[in-house]
Structures are given as C-alpha cells and as structure tokens.
Amino acid sequence: MGWEGMGARRSMFLVYSLAAILKEKTRILPLPKEILRLLAVTAFGLEFFLFYLKEDDGSGVQGQYHRLLLVPIGVCLLSTLLRICYTRSELLRFIQSLGLILQGAWFFQMASSIFSSRGMSAGWIETARATTQFTAKG
C-alpha cells in the first residue's frame, strides 16, 4: 500500500476520532444522533472503499482475506444507514453490533496470524519485512 492509502487511513482516523472527542467531552459539537449516524455511515463507507480498492489484484489468500472483511464492513454500513430512518429498531442495533464484533474478530485473527511466530504456517519463512507489510514464502 502506498503513502496515499496510509494518509487516507490516518486522516480518516483523525477526523472521526476528533469528532467523537469533541462530541463526548465538550459542548462545541452538539450534533443530533441522525447527523452522527450519517458521519458513521461515511466512516464505514470510506473503510469499505479503502479495502475494496486495495492495490492488490484480489487473487490469492491476501485478496480473499480482504474480500472477507468487506462483509462485516458492509453489514455495519447498511445497518447504520438504516438506523438513520429507523431510530428505535433493536434488530438494527443488534446487526450493527454483530458487524462490529466480526470486524474486530477479523483484525485480531489477522494480527495473531501475521505477527506471531506460531501464526505462520509450518514450513513458511518470512522473506521480506517493511514497515507496513511483509512477504512470507512457502
């Protein structure tokens, strides 16, 4: 991933974390819940497109893992979008929570598979390591 992707992720994190901090800790940003949900929809949409438009060609294991992550991101995106219209729906809250749990489980699974010595498959060795990714060879 080039610097453009890293910059997009960093700026996305900065904008949404600052909005959350301003909303929770100060009275500078008194936004209604519908606007905050719309902000969350844009965050999930950006996350979806960041993983969908990733630089790899989509083939191989890495491409399939990223395609798999699109499912819980899409679930969160759709359920948050529907919660703008149906504010009191408990089912949508549950579906959104499930999507967030699946996203977190995916990230923990990938971290334990990639960054632990036991996570590498038997016979695989790490051939090159950069600051954001590495290559394993069988």
The answer to whether position 98 is within a domain reads yes
> 99 falls in which pLDDT band (50, 70, 90)?
very high
> 109 falls in which pLDDT band (50, 70, 90)?
confident
> 11 falls in which pLDDT band (50, 70, 90)?
confident
Whether the model pTM is above 0.95: no
The answer to whether position 24 is within a domain reads yes
The answer to whether position 122 is within a domain reads no
**CA end-to-end span of the chain:** 22
Of the spans 8-22, 71-85, 122-136, which averages the highest pLDDT? Answer: 71-85
Domain span holding position 96? 3-117
Q: Is residue 79 a contact partner of residue 99, using CB atoms and an 8 Å limit?
A: yes
pLDDT average, residue stretch 20-38? 76
How many beta carbons lie within 10 A of that of residue 46, not counting itself? 18
Q: Is the pLDDT of residue 3 over 50?
A: no
The answer to whether position 128 is within a domain reads no
With 0-12 CB in 10 A as exposed, 13-18 as middle and 19+ as buried, what is 105?
exposed
Residue 132 is classified by DSSP as: S
How many beta carbons lie within 10 A of that of residue 99, not counting itself? 21
Q: How many distinct structural domains can be found in the chain?
A: 1
The answer to whether position 26 is within a domain reads yes
The answer to whether position 73 is within a domain reads yes
Higher pLDDT, 1 or 75: 75
Q: Compute φ and ψ for 128, nearest 5 degrees.
A: -145, 140
The answer to whether position 111 is within a domain reads yes
